[in-house]
Structure 1
Amino acid sequence: MKPKFSTLILLTLLSAFLLAPFVVSPIYLDALRERSIELHQFIRGEVYKQVTGYVALSFVVLEMLLSLRKRGRKWLGKFKLPGSVILWRSLHIFLGVGLLAVVAIHTIGATGLNFNAVFLWIFFAVTLSALVGVVAETGVLESPRKIFSLPGNKDIAVTKGPLIRNMRAIWLPTHIFLVSVFILMLGVHVFLAYYYR
């Protein structure tokens, strides 16, 4: 069930589509406020934010299950979660794009102010680091080429294995660092949401 390069490109385009409301939100939020006060108050209201927030939080918890699957034997002894790493990685990718959709619904495309703006941009960086890494790796793996070199420089050429290891040495630590920052900020976001209720 490993996603193919074409599927990942479609997911990347879907992600770009899901990010579009954040670009045009100043336009449609003002129009919504002027034309439909009740709907605007509902989507800015506490019940809407709590329900969509808990859905987003459940997606984050499901996303973190990848770590549990990967490190389950170390943490849980002989207990092993079913399914292959490829299956869990695929689920992680699809859930990540789903989380992007849930965040767009939760925030209604508004980037927020102060802490929430930084929190949202960290989330976008998490998503971008994952998409770039997975799409690049899959593109190399599915390529019919055996050796890769820089354009115009045929002296430095590498095969698929070392190239993927080198790419993973860059994007994966970046993604893990950004996820760590995101999780810390998520805790602060949840605390602030309940503190300023």
Structure 2
Amino acid sequence: MKPKFSTLIVLLLITAAVLLPFAFSPLYIPLMREHSFDLLEALQGDLYKMITGFTALAFVILEMLLTVRKRGRRWKISIPGSMVLWRSLHIFLGVGLIAMILVHTGGQVGDNFNMIFLWIFWGTSLSALMGVVAETGVLESPRKYFGLVPLQLGAVAKVFPTTTKGPLIRGLRLIWLSSHIIFVSLFMVMLAFHIFLAFYFQ
């Protein structure tokens, strides 16, 4: 059930396609305001934002179940399913959450707090997805040794040392997993503040 490298590349391409509207929103939002104002008003309305916002929140809660599953024994909580299953669900739900955020925001980056919140969310999602893609690529590679220079000849090997899969994956994980945890922590704080602001100014 663990996603293969080819599946993860497809998910990465889907994620890139889902993020494209954010880049083009300065072009299409004014067009919608001019030609389809009623649709734009509905997409920015309280009911639409509330429905899509709670749906996105449900995705976040499901994403956090991986943490509960990981630490279930220590916390005396039993959640069925293997870690491989939960990691796979975590990856697919993460891509789904990115799509849900597009639906919730209409592709608008926003200003001030909302803009920072969106950038933190992208950092959270992309740090994990890129890390998993890199790690899976190394695991599935037929190569035994990895280095900056493909052929290790004499003195070149001393300048550009090689490493095996284990140390390389540990090094990758140290980078992407650490940054992902930092982004997740920031995201959760900002999410709580976002929910508070949404209901306070309603």
Name 1:117's counterpart in structure 2. 115
Any unmatched runs of 5+ in structure 2? 151-155
- Report deviation, 1:154: 3.0
Equivalents in 2 of 1:45, 1:27: separation in Å? 21
Equivalents in 2 of 1:126, 1:68: separation in Å? 18
Deviation digits for residues 123-152 of structure 1 (CA, Å, limit 9, x no counterpart): 011111011110000000000000111127
Note the aligned Cα RMSD (angstroms): 1.0
Deviation digits for residues 93-122 of structure 1 (CA, Å, limit 9, x no counterpart): 000000000000000000000000000000
Equivalents in 2 of 1:165, 1:41: separation in Å? 49
Name 1:80's counterpart in structure 2. 78
- Report deviation, 1:21: 0.4
Name 1:132's counterpart in structure 2. 130
1:185 has 2:198 as partner:
no
Structure 2 length normalisation: TM-score?
Answer: 0.94
Structure 1 length normalisation: TM-score?
Answer: 0.97
Q: Which amino acid aligns with 1:66?
A: L
Equivalents in 2 of 1:21, 1:105: separation in Å? 10
Name 1:18's counterpart in structure 2. 18
Equivalents in 2 of 1:59, 1:119: separation in Å? 17
Name 1:157's counterpart in structure 2. 162
1:169 has 2:174 as partner:
yes
Equivalents in 1 of 2:50, 2:149: separation in Å? 51
Question: Aligned to 1:154, what secondary structure does the other structure show?
Answer: helix
- Report deviation, 1:8: 0.3
Equivalents in 2 of 1:160, 1:41: separation in Å? 52
Equivalents in 2 of 1:96, 1:192: separation in Å? 24
Equivalents in 1 of 2:118, 2:107: separation in Å? 10
Equivalents in 2 of 1:23, 1:154: separation in Å? 43
- Report deviation, 1:85: 0.5
- Report deviation, 1:41: 0.8
